[in-house]
Amino acid sequence: MSDEDDKGGGFFKRLSKGLSKTRGSLAAGVGNLILGEKVIDEDVLEELETALLLTDVGVEATDKIMASLTPRIKRKQLNNTVALHAALADELKALLAPLEKPFCVDTESKPCVVMFVGVNGAGKTTTLGKIASHLTAQGRSLVLAAGDTFRAAAVEQLQEWGHRNAVEVIAQGQGADSASVVFDAVASARARGIDVVLADTAGRLQAKANLMEELSKVKRVMARDDASAPHEVLLVLDAGTGQNALSQLDLFDQAVGVTGLVVTKLDGTAKAGVLFALAARNPKPIYFIGVGEGIEDLRPFDADSFVDALLGNL
Ligand SMILES: Nc1nc2c(ncn2[C@@H]2O[C@H](COP(=O)(O)OP(=O)(O)OP(=O)(O)O)[C@@H](O)[C@H]2O)c(=O)[nH]1
Ligand SMILES: [Mg+2]
């Protein structure tokens, strides 16, 4: 996450490349709309509506966007493609702007405890590792808690991130009680004046009530010595799951009170529009987005550059 890279527009390029499938799907849906070969009329509106739905923008957000654009088109206020493109970009940015919030670890609480939750394979552990690199680079002291005691390779995967960042990993191995691992990690961090605990958890389907209850227990145990912990509960969402992300957000939020989102794998999908659906459904800060597997591919979320990269010049 170097400044140089930002100045050189490096991430914007990667973001643009990452969003190319979704952009392609939008562009195909709206035909020649933005190329200026079409009269902007109600047919175009319908095409736009369908294209938004196809890229997983969702019914609620699509309705909002169309409710704003339709009267303006009917009044001929948006009668050329440049004006329509700009109006669409403004609408999309306005939907996402409230979700922009920098991820700051709470310096009042020592340790600041961050819990990672999500369905299987969403990208929790790699996101945790990337955030660990980011925080280490800022000079924070960390402990990683291997709270995924379910999957055989989970502890080793976290330990690898620990080695890479020269950060201690608290683990008890496969089959151990997840809540007890996390409790130990928080207690050990507190005793040593460590700044941040990043706690991994096992992936679970949001509809499995018993597994969600287990996750609530992990959360409750964290609050035993400090009622304000965990200070952040990050739900990691794979953008490729499309509209299912809404139910993931609902059910994880009910179980553990989600404080922010990380949306990964925007690179592999034509469903990046799901960010708008999330914004319309249950607006939570999107702290980071992921557009690839590398450390540099996880970045703070910025609504304007996301929309600019998404629309490109269609
Ligand atoms: N293309 C791409 N791959 C990603 C991204 N984020 C994570 N991945 C990959 O997704 C795969 C799964 O990531 P994990 O971090 O192991 O996922 P997890 O949620 O911890 O999985 P479980 O612990 O099994 O539930 C890995 O191969 C990651 O490299 C992303 O933004 N883009
Ligand atoms: Mg994992």
Specify the ligand 1 atom closest to the Cα of 154.
23
Are 34 and 121 within one domain? Answer: no
Please list the residues that pair with 236 across neighbouring strands. Answer: 262
d(CA 250, CA 47): 30
> 122 in a domain, yes or no?
yes
Are 132 and 233 within one domain? Answer: yes
Phi, psi for residue 90 in degrees, rounded to 5: -60, -45
Specify the ligand 1 atom closest to the Cα of 119.
25
Are 148 and 125 within one domain? Answer: yes
> 133 in a domain, yes or no?
yes
> For a pLDDT cut of 70, what percent of the chain falls above it?
94
Judged by its nearest atom, the ligand closest to the C-alpha of residue 15 is 1
Are 218 and 266 within one domain? Answer: yes
Are 85 and 182 within one domain? Answer: no
- Of 68, 99, 130, the residue that ends a domain is 99
**pLDDT tens column, 69-119:** 999 888 888 877 888 888 999 999 999 999 999 998 888 889 999 999 999
Mean predicted lDDT score pLDDT of the chain: 91
| Domains held by the chain: number | 2
- Domain of 150: which CATH number? 3.40.50.300
Rounded CA Rg of the chain: 21
Asked if pLDDT for residue 297 goes beyond 80, the answer is yes
Query: How crowded is residue 108: how many other Cβ atoms within 10 Å of its Cβ?
Result: 8
Are 53 and 157 within one domain? Answer: no
Specify the ligand 1 atom closest to the Cα of 291.
31
> 314 in a domain, yes or no?
no
Are 45 and 144 within one domain? Answer: no
Asked if pLDDT for residue 267 goes beyond 60, the answer is yes
- Of 74, 99, 124, the residue that ends a domain is 99
Of 293, 296, 297, 301, the one to substitute when testing ligand 1's pocket (max ligand atoms within 8 A of C-beta) is: 293
Measured in Å, residue 35 CA sits from the centre of ligand 1 at 37
DSSP readout, 92-118? HHHHHGGGB------SSSSSEEEEEE-
d(CA 119, CA 237): 8
Are 27 and 120 within one domain? Answer: no
**pLDDT tens column, 222-237:** 999 899 999 999 999 9
**pLDDT tens column, 168-187:** 999 997 889 999 999 999 99
What are the start-end ranges of the H helices in the chain? 3-7, 10-18, 20-29, 42-54, 59-74, 81-96, 124-137, 154-165, 178-191, 209-222, 244-256, 274-281, 303-311
Of 14, 17, 126, the one to substitute when testing ligand 1's pocket (max ligand atoms within 8 A of C-beta) is: 126
Tokens for 6, please give them: 């930002």
> 171 in a domain, yes or no?
yes
d(CA 158, CA 129): 7
Are 24 and 91 within one domain? Answer: yes
Are 258 and 121 within one domain? Answer: yes
Of 155, 200, 264, the one to substitute when testing ligand 1's pocket (max ligand atoms within 8 A of C-beta) is: 264
Let me know the angle formed at the C-alpha of 235 by 234 and 236, rounded to the nearest 5 degrees: 110
- Domain of 31: which CATH number? 1.20.120.140
Nearest to 126 by CA among 248, 292, 304, 300: 292
Domain that holds residue 159: 112-302
Are 269 and 133 within one domain? Answer: yes
CB 271 within 8 Å of CB 58: no
- Of 70, 99, 128, the residue that ends a domain is 99
Are 42 and 91 within one domain? Answer: yes
